[in-house]
A and B are shown apart, each in its own frame.
Chain A
Amino acid sequence: MIDVKNLSKNYGDRPAITKLNFSVKKGEVVGFLGPNGAGKSTTMKIITGYMAPSGGEVRVAGFDVFENPMEVKSRIGYLPETPPVYHDMYVRDYLTFVANLKRVEKSRVKALVDAALEKTTLGDVAGRLIGNLSKGFKQRVGLAQALVSDPEILVLDEPTVGLDPKQVAEMRQLIRQLRGQHTIILSTHILPEVQASCDKVIIINRGAIVAEDTLDGLSRRMSGGGHSVHLRVRRHHQTVTTGIAAVAGVRKVTNVGNSIEIETDGADETVEKVAGFVVTEGAGLMELKVQSLALEDIFIKLTSPGATL
């Protein structure tokens, strides 16, 4: 659906992104992840045809963004960082205006406006001035605006920034509901958001892609297939630590205060053996938690200088 090849963009002398390559298939929900200033918004602006790249090409639904901008723009719904709403318009009038601007067939305008209002649960405020709405509602109007033309592709630039926790949860819920109806690209620097809504993650740092995979795949690759086990015991002695380190399959043991962090080869038997050892040792097992590497760890590993996959 979206093919990005060797995409580069310079602002003056400063490169914002350099030679990005990725593709997004129809129906996928892709999280575009990176620290602030990594080039997420720039990439999105180029995909939507807002600005021209310095090099490379982007094809959306088979159309080149720069040769056929009209075709591309009519297929994309875009929610920029700041929702592009007119403060002196009523919600319903605004959505009707956007639908007409996006060249939705005249006969469908009203139905699509109603559908967008319903999906974003804005029905109650349809007759209010946008300027009088709270930030969360404005953000939702912004999302309704992206949805109103029923686009094949949705590009959402940090859709939950500045919302309160309840609104964030609602926004994520909404994005999950949209899955399957649209191909979605979602940029964020908030990790749980990706975990909550995306099939695939593209991690970008300093203008270059550092990882592109599914969440599970990334997690497996980063940990080398191993598990990390969190262990807490009542009677914590040096003998326990050395004993665990001797168990077959255990790679590394570290003491963190009252608890012990263990890296294993990922086999279930290893975890079983570790648990058995702790029990027979009589150390008083309080807690044992097996976790694959969390997205947060992956992110920090990948975006710290000199990181490789």
Chain B
Amino acid sequence: MRAMLTLAGKDLRNLLTNPLFYVIAGLSTIVWSYTYMRGLLQFAQRSLAMNQPGMEAGLNLQREVFLAHISYVHLLFVFLVPALTMRLLAEEKRLRTYDLLLTSPISATEIALGKFLAGLGAVSALTLISFFYPLATRLVVAYPFVPLMSAYLGLFLVSAVYVAVGLFASALTESIMLSVIMALIFNLMLWFVSQGLGEQSGTVGAVMEYIGLGQHFTGFIMGAIKLNSLVFLCSVIGLFVFLTQRVVESSRWR
């Protein structure tokens, strides 16, 4: 346990103090600031127009602005999370510091979990940055908080999936380049497996739909925390962390 936290702490510090993190966070902030600003201003104009007598219904801030924001955040995460997780294990192998980990009293499970926690920590820091936008909006508009939290829970779980996938890709190779490309392709596969199923019906279609991330993420975004989605996303995270543990363990048997 202590060895795991030591490793997680070392890697989290390493990730957060790396220039790469600042580049990623900085550029993301530029994109999000632009898209969020634009969304919010458009919303303000339209709600002003709607605010005429006889049009009481009004518009929904959550659906009009926050959802667009979260989907932008998610879009960037598909590409950026692999960039953050790419070095987790690949670099240990490349610099031969892997030897130190494998000859220290720390189990393969602790290595996999420690690395996962570090990656999750760094991605959570990015998520937190993106959370400031809706939070700042609360200074000027009162809106219901719970649906937003549900959407962010969904974003958190999906980004945890990407971290686990990226960690697994990083465990497979010594090459950082290959690690980032593999993680990216795995992410897109998880996302697109349920796309374009329009014609496909029956069991295959249902299964494909279910194992795609899209359906589950949409549920959270709409403010519905479904138990099966929670279980599914946690299982995917568990699966990839477990696969990483197997890869780490296997290096003793070569």
Interface residues of A (CB under 8 A from B): 11, 48-52, 69-71, 73-74, 76, 78, 80, 82, 84-89, 97-98, 100-103, 145
Contact with A along B219-254 (1 / 0, CB 8 A): 000000000000000000000000000000001111
User: In the bound complex, how far is the Cα of B21 from the Cα of A261, in angstroms?
Assistant: 70
Which residue of chain A lies nearest to B97 when distances are taken between CB atoms in the complex? Answer: A84
Quote the shortest CB–CB distance from B53 to chain A (angstroms).
Answer: 63
User: In the bound complex, how far is the Cα of B14 from the Cα of A98, in angstroms?
Assistant: 15
Quote the shortest CB–CB distance from B88 to chain A (angstroms).
Answer: 13
* B3→A103 contact, CB < 8 A: yes
Known contacts A103-B2, A103-B105, A78 near B99 by CB under 8 Å? yes
Residue of A70, A84, A98 near B107 (CB, 8 A) is: A70
User: In the bound complex, how far is the Cα of B97 from the Cα of A84, in angstroms?
Assistant: 4
Give residues 1-58 of B contacting A (CB, 8 Å). Answer: 2-3, 6-7, 10, 14, 17-18
**Residues in chain B near residue A98, CB distance under 8 A:** 100, 104
Interface residues of B (CB under 8 A from A): 2-3, 6-7, 10, 14, 17-18, 95-107, 251-254
* A101→B18 contact, CB < 8 A: no
* B103→A78 contact, CB < 8 A: yes
Known contacts A50-B103, A101-B106, A102-B104, A86 near B3 by CB under 8 Å? no
**Residues in chain A near residue B7, CB distance under 8 A:** 101
User: In the bound complex, how far is the Cα of B17 from the Cα of A278, in angstroms?
Assistant: 77
Question: What are 16 pairs between A and B in contact, CB < 8 Å?
Answer: A49-B102, A51-B253, A70-B107, A73-B103, A78-B99, A80-B99, A80-B100, A84-B96, A86-B97, A97-B10, A98-B100, A100-B3, A101-B101, A101-B104, A101-B106, A102-B105
Which of B96, B100, B251 has the largest count of A CB atoms less than 10 A from its CB? Answer: B100
Quote the shortest CB–CB distance from B19 to chain A (angstroms).
Answer: 10
Known contacts A51-B252, A76-B103, A100 near B95 by CB under 8 Å? no
